[in-house]
Amino acid sequence: MSWKDTFYNKLMESYKDTLNYDGISGNRMAARFAALSEIGLTADNGSNRPGYSQEEKQAKDMVAGWMSEAGLAVHRDEAGNVFGRLAGKQDHLPAILSGSHVDSVPNGGHFDGPLGVLAALEVAEAWKETGYQPEKPYEVVIFSDEEGARFNGGFNGSEGLMGFGNLEDKKKLKDSDGKSFSEVLQDVGLSSGDYPKAKRDEETIEMFVEVHIEQGKRLEKENLPCGIVTGIAGPCWLEVTFTGEAGHAGNTPMHDRKDALVAASAFITKVASLPSTISDSAVATVGKLHVEPNGVNVIPGKVTLYVDIRDIHKETRNKLIEVVRQTGEEIASAHNTQITYHETMRVSPVPINEKTQDLLEEAIRSKDLSPYRLPSGAGHDAMVAGEKIPVAMLFTKSIHGVSHHPDEWSELSDCIQTVHVLKSFLEKIQQRGM
């Protein structure tokens, strides 16, 4: 049996056929998931479709074909983003966009990104089957290079659409093979010189709605198929360096040491307890450090570590950054060491409008599901779009919270229930607007 058939059968084995209604088909979604999963398939049965790779392009082209079959007018922009447009009764109005991405991390999963694209397309398929034409234009979008596996920094598609990012900085990027941003784009028929032309007037977009797997365990613990995203956390990365004095491990008395690693260890332990003192949605993580000289019998003289600080609210995120810095100063002083900071990233959080969350809750209740609100700790294309236009997000339950791994999985029934909620929400904003 082929991998495609195996994947399809696994999706369908626990699927509830009663969810096939109002033009939405779990069978069709399963077949499309399976077809996409073959593109860039790894030896571990994972996905390897880097941004602006031939594999990503092949996946985009496959979905573009389905868009055309669904009656959508397909076009591509200069950032490689793909759009399938369904005309509205009042086609001059700003469009409602929904979608995600089809690129992946190396040896990633088959749901992160494709779920949002296929969910948005399934709504268009359902409207076609039921003869529904929206009042406002609707566009299914596939963003390029969300994951950033190619250049260690993603969102090149959504940044292009929203007019963010400095082209000269992007041209300096090189992938692991030494290829420049310009060369990589050229390989898939794009031109870096045309990249700025992808910028779209935000007045032509009413809202962007993204469906994504949760990448966490909250919905699984609540036994719910989907949830309402309250906001997308904006990360700040601090490079923190403790400088002490290296010395011989045997000849330097304990009371006469300036041990940078001991100071850094105290800091790391303290950082873990700080977010809860600021905000229920704040997090802080130390995930990388370098010890110098890094010898078994040498007192560490210098430690560089990185703190990832996030929250969905800018004010509390920034407050946590300051508390982390103050804590570092106090610990360095207590351990007779010096500390320096270098901020390598600060992205604004994107809170989701309360009225938008309430309308999502209405959509969830209309499907006899219990509403549950949760923050997104990870970045998404909606985070980039949300800096200029209204956005909404729905999460789908992730089994065991696994993400960016071949074992990543969301049950098809949970995916389809999310599509039903998405369809209901999109129909509500067609009538009410936001």
Tell me the binding residues for Zn(2+).
Answer: 101, 112, 147, 212, 404
Pairing verdict, β 283-292 and 302-311: antiparallel
How far is residue 156's CA from residue 170's CA, in Å, rounded to a whole number? 9
Rg (the chain; Cα; Å): 24
CA distances to 104, 130, 202, 397 from 111, rounded to whole Å, are 10, 27, 28, 11
Residue 241 tokens, joined: 């360096």
Q: For tokens 């700025």, what's the residue?
A: 196
CA distances to 85, 334, 420 from 202, rounded to whole Å, are 16, 51, 27
Can you say which residues are annotated as belonging to the binding site? 101, 112, 147, 212, 404
Residue 70 tokens, joined: 């669904």
Pairing verdict, β 138-143 and 95-101: parallel
Name the amino acid, one letter, at 394.
L
H-only helix segments in 272-394: 314-334, 354-365, 381-385
**Overall size of the chain counted in residues:** 434
Q: Are the beta carbons of 110 and 7 closer than 8 angstroms?
A: yes
State phi, psi for 93 to the nearest 5 degrees: -75, 160
Q: What is the dihedral of CA 291, 297, 301, 303, to 10 degrees?
A: 20
State phi, psi for 59 to the nearest 5 degrees: -65, -40
